[in-house]
Structure 1
């Protein structure tokens, strides 16, 4: 009988868990998951990448998960439906790598951040999502682009332009702590630590709490209460 997933052949599951045991041990040291929870999430990765190989990326090396498939996980499991923000999030996840695929390590560390990340970890990640120029600074132009996208989605082009400019002025006054007309990482971090509700002020970068809970109780059974 399979340990974690009755839909998998027991021998297939056993071989996979044995092959990834050392990885799970190492990931337990750097994430907010237990060893068993990591194994459960790796089994989910394994099942997803089997679909990926045939549907999305026939050239996927060694059964890696495609970015398109991860985008579907964000959409279907976490209700993160803004395609532009999804692209920015996946780009931020892979800033240290140019690979077109999501490795098992990146899968686990990202889910650790999504599901149980500390405020400090979330601050670093959200800023990275917003920092589309990789400059470490959110200029007025970058802020305008994000705000324009958000408001156009709600109110349409005619009403949004002036609203964006007004909102941009308010944000700069609040978050530009050193008054240099732009928001540095330190500006953002200091302000969000005091005002956590501003963490995702330019758009959703993380799953909401109900979606995060639902994911854990669906794919990581026998969990303690969080």
Structure 2
């Protein structure tokens, strides 16, 4: 542990020590299941705490989703607004506009050091226990909540990423071509839709297909840069 060791020079050492002691039980709990050391979690919690202090609403119980969106945009190179609400729904349930400290740490663990299988479940899972919360219909790519990726869903995600790069008519034709390519690669059982098993089987064989429908994970460069802000240990534990 690092009680008494000042991790952030912009915070008063007594304030930081009180903060770390207050949340030590939660850190002890999370260090057993996330891809961070105890000291790394302290740093991640302090980043959260500083974001919360910057919140205009001083009565808020956590950082806002808009603040998290800013972190994703500026710190993790995740800029696809069409996917943001879907990304948030994977980790946070209900109508709350804030993100809890545990959710913050859990999300960063996946984004920065998650295994391929964790990322597969995050991007698209049918009905699994996701970080202690029943995920059911709230996965990123499972837009309709039926456990399948159909052509309508693919069109929704792909069109939003291409429409800004060309005319609407050209974008729609390009999307249709991409849907054919993705379906051919991922529809293992050839039923016209992509199930979770189709998706997982394909991605395990071809990891580059993980984000075939749009970016919902940070780039490798962004991961490296973000991690080095709080630890010199780049790799997994």
Q: What TM-score do the two structures reach when normalised by structure 2? A: 0.87
**Aligned partner (choices 119, 124, 131) of residue 122 of structure 1:** 119
* Whole-Å separation in 2 of the counterparts to 1:186 and 1:74: 29
Matches within 5 A, 1:100-139: 100-127=97-124, 128-139=139-150
2:162·2:171 contact (CA, 8 Å) conserved in 1?
Answer: yes
Partner of 1:71: 69
Q: Deviations over 1:87-122 (max 9, x none)?
A: 22112222x444321111100010000100000000
Q: Deviations over 1:119-161 (max 9, x none)?
A: 0000111122111222211111101111111221222212111
Q: Which runs of 5+ in 2 are unaligned?
A: 125-138
Q: Say which is worse superposed, 29-38 or 150-159, in terms of deviation.
A: 150-159
Deviation at 1:225, TM superposition (A): 4.3
Matches within 5 A, 1:82-101: 82-94=80-92, 96-101=93-98
Matches within 5 A, 1:7-86: 7-52=10-55, 54=56, 57-61=57-61, 64-86=62-84
Greater per-residue helix proportion: 1
1:144·1:165 contact (CA, 8 Å) conserved in 2?
Answer: yes
* Whole-Å separation in 1 of the counterparts to 2:67 and 2:205: 36
1:77·1:211 contact (CA, 8 Å) conserved in 2?
Answer: yes
Q: Report how many residues are paired.
A: 218
Partner of 1:141: 152
* Whole-Å separation in 2 of the counterparts to 1:156 and 1:82: 19
Q: Secondary structure at the match of 2:163?
A: helix
Partner of 2:179: 168
- The answer to whether the aligner puts 1:4 opposite 2:13 as a matched pair is no
2:82·2:157 contact (CA, 8 Å) conserved in 1?
Answer: no
Q: Which runs of 4+ in 1 moved over 4 A?
A: none
* Whole-Å separation in 2 of the counterparts to 1:217 and 1:170: 37
1:2·1:9 contact (CA, 8 Å) conserved in 2?
Answer: no
CA-atom RMSD, angstroms? Answer: 1.5
- The answer to whether the aligner puts 1:224 opposite 2:200 as a matched pair is no
Q: Deviations over 1:58-98 (max 9, x none)?
A: 5413xx1111100000011012122222222112222x444
Q: Which runs of 5+ in 1 are unaligned?
A: none
Q: Secondary structure at the match of 1:133?
A: coil
